[in-house]
Every structure is written in C-alpha cells, then in structure tokens.
Amino acid sequence: MKHTIDAKRLLCPMPVIRLGEMIDTVDKGDLIEMLATDPGVLHDIPAWCKVHGHKVLEITQKSDEIILLVEKIG
C-alpha cells in the first residue's frame, strides 16, 4: 500500500518526524511518498532510513518540490 506525507513548507526536523510517525502506523513493505520543499530532506531522510533499517527507493526533484519514495523494511 502507498501512503503520502505532505511535508511541503516544513523545515528540518519536521519531515523526519512526520516520516517517523507514519512509519510506525504502516505495514512492512508499504511505501511512503514524501512531498517536501526543504532541500535538507535529500540528506536527512536517507540518513534516517539507514539508521532505522528502511529503504529510500527513489528521489525526484521537480522545480522546488522534492519527492522521496520510502519502503518500510522492518
């Protein structure tokens, strides 16, 4: 199942906090699409996923929007 987090206009650390909150509510194998505008997510989300055992499948940048696709592994 795919879930979406709208973290546009939120600054660090809020996108990471929102991902942490959602990842606890979804099933293993579910995908979370994060929509963000803070370029800090390009480093912060992959680093958080590495520490917590999840996987960033894709990062896409469209003008001022960043879209990250995260898979819940554990």
* Residues designated as active site: 12
Q: What is the number of other CB atoms lying within 10 angstroms of the CB of residue 22?
A: 17
Q: Find the length of the chain.
A: 74
The residues, ordered by sequence, that sit 6+ positions from 30 with a Cβ below 8 Å of its Cβ are: 1, 2, 3, 71, 72
Task: Report the distance separating Cα 70 and Cα 26, nearest Å.
Answer: 12
